[in-house]
Structure 1
Amino acid sequence: MKIVYLHQYFEKEKGGIRSYEIAKKLVSEGHQVTMITGNDISSCEGITIISTKTPYRQEYGYIRRIFSFVIYMLKSLFYALREKDIDLVYATSTPLTVGLVGKWVAKIKKCAFVFEVRDLWPDVPIQLGIIKNNFLIKILYKIESDVYDKADKIIALSEGMKMDIVQKGIHPDKVEVITNFADISRFKSISIMDQIQLYTKYPQLQNRFISLYAGTIGFVNHIDYILKLARSTKNDEILYVIVGDGKEKPRLIREAKLAKLTNVLFLDAVSKAEAQTLVTMSDVGMCFVRDEEILNRNSQNKLFDFWAAGKPTLINYKGWQDKVMREFKAGQGFDYGNIDGLRLYLENLSMHKKKNTKKCSNVSVNWPSSIKKRIY
């Protein structure tokens, strides 16, 4: 089967690599996959990649983002229509305009159309107050309804997202849930040498209790919550490490400096391999969002990475991920306003680690001399 896969932000080495893993899996099963993306990436792993070379960064303002969405929509439509013998077009949001391309290509090429809903657009930006123009809201809801109607199948990333889609009049049988995921074998293959390289690169991480956030630093991700947590933390051993890029990052760095938060470390975005190594070096993971009910349906990819690495995780929202985490004791969920409870939990974890470290201090390890120099 020949599949045209539409994903404006396709990545294979950093950030969310869900599409990369799905495309690889499809290729391994004998399908022909052509990925059309805005990023400038070379073909790999049997995936044919066509780039529209459409610049997009989280730091862009909303007008420039919309311009990027439109340019990608037009270019991806052009490239997709040039493809021959298409059996299926798979479009993954956001932006919602990708669904329009999928719908048009499927209609013209007379092929099946699958639409993957990664975020509930336009509900999320509307309910967060990002989109306020009533005329634009009507247009976006019309696009959403039309895309859902024309899709042969809709993929949601959580049961909560599926429920929201069904409540808009879509038949439940039309919607399938495929959550995010992580490759456990990747974390098992990370060696102590990989970790030592990052300890050498970022010496601030040495001998600290690492509470890690790795991902986009945007409005929804609400990194302000971590700064608030850092302000209330008195234990000097706890270090809040924030890895990634995004529109909110410059402001947050300024605020951390003004507040003289010596327990917060901002790092630039790293490759997926380095991000996974950092996860194995962390003591606890953080996945926070703003205090909005609609965000309870999300499916944060970074949460799966922490779980795959066997790291306890902290979240400040409800929903299915909170239930799963509690059921399998994979971390701790807190009410958004319970920042003191969250801090106490972290401090207790830090003290527990310190006690265990002291118990093991007399254990002799015969490190190679080259490694001893880096550690000690």
Structure 2
Amino acid sequence: MKVLILSFHFQPDLSAGSFRNTALVEAIQKKLPRGSEITVMTTLPNRYSSFSVDAPKQETSSGLTIHRVALPSHKSGMLDQSKAFVIYARQVHKLVKGNDYDLVYASSSRLMTAALGAWVSQCKQVPLYLDIRDIFVDTIKDVLSRKLAWIIKPIFAFIERWTVKKASKVNLVSGGFLPYFQDRYPHQAFSLFTNGIDKAFIEASPLVEQSSARTIPEVIYAGNMGEGQGLHHIIPNLAKHFEGKLQFKLIGDGGRYKHLVEALQNAGCTNVELVDPVSREELIGFYQSADVLFLHLNDYDAFKKVLPSKVFEYAALGKPIWAGVGGFAAKFIQENIDNAAIFSPCNDKDAVDAFANLQLVTQPRTDFTASFARTEIMKGLADDILLVADPDLR
């Protein structure tokens, strides 16, 4: 069997899509019949302009070939991302020429990688399995100006309809996405394999309970700093309120990084440290040294449907979680994670009140890590994918 995997991000890049699809490929490799081939078409590490790591453009080993497309240096703006995707799509078009596949799998957060997968599957006349990590059409109205959203939303809505209807099956990483897709595509088959906890985080999980020893506790946020996270709306006021009481450390980069820096300067914050993106090994060390882990999504309706991958990393490390989220994510955290305080996004007063409910204690979350281990989730997703290609692979 020949399987084509399309994922804009893949190891060693830093992103939820990279971690998810790297683990998935490992799971599929273990389940394919002898002599099978997996081809991954991705990009050279490019998630953050401030973080780079070397990786070969082509890598081949034991039935796995990885093609990494080189992209020009770019920021997180929509125009830069669009240019980068066009380069990726052109290279995929060249790479698939003359090659046959039995299945196309595409994992996508911003829709276009999914659409590219639909186009390839149509050209090759083979089944398509989509892994949807965000609802781009639903997000457009919140993150773009009203005029621009009015112009481009119908275009992307058409692309979404065409793409989803081409798929043999669609996986959604958040249960909050299900009503949106079932309402629009009632005849499509959906599954719900969420993000999960990678082995490195499970191995770093605490074994015993331990109270914070710091006089001034350290709050850490790690990840993207874009419009979706809205850190520039919440951190400055929050940090100013807790000046002398909490130290904030923000690790990452993104499209709203400069806005965050300006907002911190305008607020006169002296208790916020900004750190460039780091490797996963370094990140785990930062997590382990923290007293509280901070999570925030901007106050947009579309984000009430998402379940951030960061939730799983944070929970595995046993730290108190201070989360400005609503909708499905808030419900998931409340139902599954102990010692987590939820507040309304972008509401610093609510955040201050929520913080008072946290116990500054690191403690094992054994049941959670067992339930959401990435390896087990990916085994299920791999089975689901391969059944689309060949129902006899049970």
Give CA deviations for 1:35-66 in whole Å, capped at 9, x if unaligned. 11122533388542102212364x24332322
* Number of the residue aligned with 1:209: 217
* Number of the residue aligned with 1:309: 317
Within 2, Cα distance between the matches of 1:56 and 1:319? 35
Match of 1:308, as an amino acid?
A: A
Mapping of residues 1-376 of structure 1, within 5 Å? 1-12=1-12, 14-16=14-16, 17-30=19-32, 32-39=37-44, 41-42=55-56, 43=59, 47-55=64-72, 57=74, 59-84=75-100, 86-130=101-145, 132-133=147-148, 134-171=150-187, 174-183=189-198, 186-189=201-204, 208-224=216-232, 225-234=234-243, 236-330=244-338, 331-336=340-345, 338-346=347-355, 349=358
Give CA deviations for 1:123-160 in whole Å, capped at 9, x if unaligned. 10223335743442221111100001001111111111
Change (3 A) 1:95 1:228: same
Match of 2:113, as an amino acid?
A: V
Give CA deviations for 1:91-117 in whole Å, capped at 9, x if unaligned. 111332222221122122222101111
CA contact (8 A) 2:295 2:322 kept: yes
* Number of the residue aligned with 2:387: none
CA contact (8 A) 1:38 1:55 kept: no
Aligned residues: 336
Within 2, Cα distance between the matches of 1:28 and 1:228? 49
Within 1, Cα distance between the matches of 2:199 and 2:110? 29
Per chain length, whose mean CA-contact separation is higher, i.e. which structure has more relative contact order (CA < 8 Å, sep 6+)?
2
* Number of the residue aligned with 2:50: none
Change (3 A) 1:163 1:348: closer
Change (3 A) 1:345 1:123: closer
Within 1, Cα distance between the matches of 2:322 and 2:37? 40
5+ long unaligned stretches in structure 2: 46-54, 207-213, 362-394
Segments ≥4 residues shifted beyond 6 Å: none
CA contact (8 A) 2:228 2:298 kept: yes
Percentage of pairs with the same residue:
23
TM-score by length of 1: 0.81
Within 1, Cα distance between the matches of 2:154 and 2:355? 44
Query: What secondary structure does 1:244 align onto?
Result: strand
Q: Once structures 1 and 2 are overlaid, which stretch shifts more, 41-50 or 286-295? A: 41-50
Match of 2:69, as an amino acid?
A: T
Give CA deviations for 1:158-207 in whole Å, capped at 9, x if unaligned. 111121111113436x111111111255342489xxxxxxxxxxxxxx86
Change (3 A) 1:237 1:44: farther
Query: What secondary structure does 2:298 align onto?
Result: coil
Change (3 A) 1:239 1:39: same
Query: What secondary structure does 2:97 align onto?
Result: helix
Change (3 A) 1:55 1:163: farther
Within 2, Cα distance between the matches of 1:295 and 1:132? 21
Q: Once structures 1 and 2 are overlaid, which stretch shifts more, 26-35 or 298-307? A: 26-35
Match of 1:107, as an amino acid?
A: Q
Within 1, Cα distance between the matches of 2:335 and 2:305? 17
Match of 2:20, as an amino acid?
A: R
Within 1, Cα distance between the matches of 2:305 and 2:342? 15
Shift of 1:242: 0.7
